[in-house]
Amino acid sequence: MLAATLLVCAAPALAEPAPEMARGPALLLEWSGPGPELDCLGEDGLSRAVNDYIGRNAFESPAELVLHVNVERLPDRHFRAVLEVDDPSGRALGTRAITSSSELCSSLDERLILAVALLADAGPEAPEPPAPPSREQAPLMAGPGRDDVEDLPTVPAEPPPSAAPWAVAVEAALVVEGGLLPSARPGLSLGLRLQPSSWLIARAGALAFLPASKELAGASVRFSLFAGTAELCAGELRTWRFQTAICAGALYAGLGTRTQGVIAGHDRTRGQLAGLFGFHLAEPLSRRVALVADASGVFPDHPERFLLQVNSASRSLFQVSKPSVLASLGAAVSF
């Protein structure tokens, strides 16, 4: 059958197109799933690549075969493309699945282009059997090179599992703040990352910053800052090959002061509660390690204000900004 021409779609790379390929059936391509926004070919990209490969337009009207390509992301963050071939009447001729070799959708490109090009240049189909199979009974395609190809027991592809396994990672990063201390200060953050699905991330972390000093009227005050954060991040947009998520959560900071002079309320640590809102970026470097970056706005509930007593008069020394800013760059290690 024509569907069997997809046997070699698991070849590791595209070879040079053969000059003597026979002209095959005209195709109608129907694409579903992510496209260029996740670095997938998409319908237009696949059509152009196949036409360039075989040197002619394979997608003409009227179509002799209908090719459905459905791309989905798996729980392990790899991609799977399911190819289904029908005749114009809707009779199923076969199906096959191709799984990406990495977490990038673009790793499907070569095998997809080769599979569709072979179908477009296949010879005429053998005489039809007297009792054609239904879609549910359509034969599966099988063949050599099965490292990245899996046969599906039914058509369409089997549904994804109802619940993906949780991914747990530790994050460490260099962080810079602006507005929580009298001057911008660098610091370190350490956190835990829980990912119950590909689009949802729960994060908790602890931050510590280098002290900042402030002087006024001969008095010196040293500020220290420690904070804890809790956030939920949602989204899986691809921007410049990064996974981009929008995050919202809360920050609780301890602002400590040590003075040479008198500060209203005496030397102590004051608590500061604030909301967090920003963006989280992640780029996988391997199956366990990812580069992570964050940029967040910090919105204090009641910005703390520090007063300095000079000759029985109170003078403003520092007030937490509303909003403040946090930015970080680091790595996440899964286990």
- Hunting for tokens 């990209």 — which residue is that? 45
Among the listed residues 151, 130, 164, the one whose alpha carbon sits nearest the alpha carbon of residue 9: 151
Give yes or no: residues 173 and 141 share one domain: no
Domain membership of residue 160 (yes or no) is no
User: Where does a domain end: 150, 175, 190?
Assistant: 150
Q: Most distant CA pair in the chain: distance in Å?
A: 105
Domain membership of residue 222 (yes or no) is yes
Give yes or no: residues 76 and 141 share one domain: yes
Look at the chain and count its residues: 335
**Range(s) of the domain holding residue 8:** 2-150
Element (H, E) at 70: strand 65-73
pTM greater than 0.75 (yes/no): no
User: Where does a domain end: 89, 123, 150?
Assistant: 150
Domain membership of residue 156 (yes or no) is no
pLDDT of the residue at 173: 97
Helix, strand, coil in percent for the chain, rounding step 5: 15, 50, 35
Domain membership of residue 271 (yes or no) is yes
| Tally of domains within the chain | 2
Give yes or no: residues 141 and 184 share one domain: no
Give yes or no: residues 176 and 137 share one domain: no
Element (H, E) at 109: helix 109-120
Give yes or no: residues 138 and 179 share one domain: no
Give yes or no: residues 116 and 181 share one domain: no
Give yes or no: residues 145 and 236 share one domain: no
Give yes or no: residues 78 and 134 share one domain: yes
Beta strands in 40-86 (DSSP E): 65-73, 79-86
Give yes or no: residues 182 and 144 share one domain: no
Positions in the chain short of pLDDT 70: 1-23, 122-165, 217-218, 236-242, 260-267, 309-312
Q: Cβ distance 117 to 50 under 8 Å? A: yes
Q: Sheet harboring 305-310: ordered strands across?
A: 262-263, 305-310, 313-319
Distance separating alpha carbons of residues 49 and 189, to the nearest angstrom:
45
Domain membership of residue 158 (yes or no) is no
pLDDT of the residue at 269: 85
Q: Cβ distance 255 to 180 under 8 Å? A: yes
- The C-alpha torsion from 35 through 41 and 45 to 48, rounded to 10°, is -160
Give yes or no: residues 270 and 326 share one domain: yes
Give yes or no: residues 180 and 291 share one domain: yes
Helix axes 109-120, 42-54, angle to 10 degrees: 60
Domain membership of residue 216 (yes or no) is yes
Phi, psi of 114 (to 5 degrees): -65, -45
CATH number at residue 252: 2.40.160.20
pLDDT of the residue at 247: 95
Give yes or no: residues 270 and 201 share one domain: yes
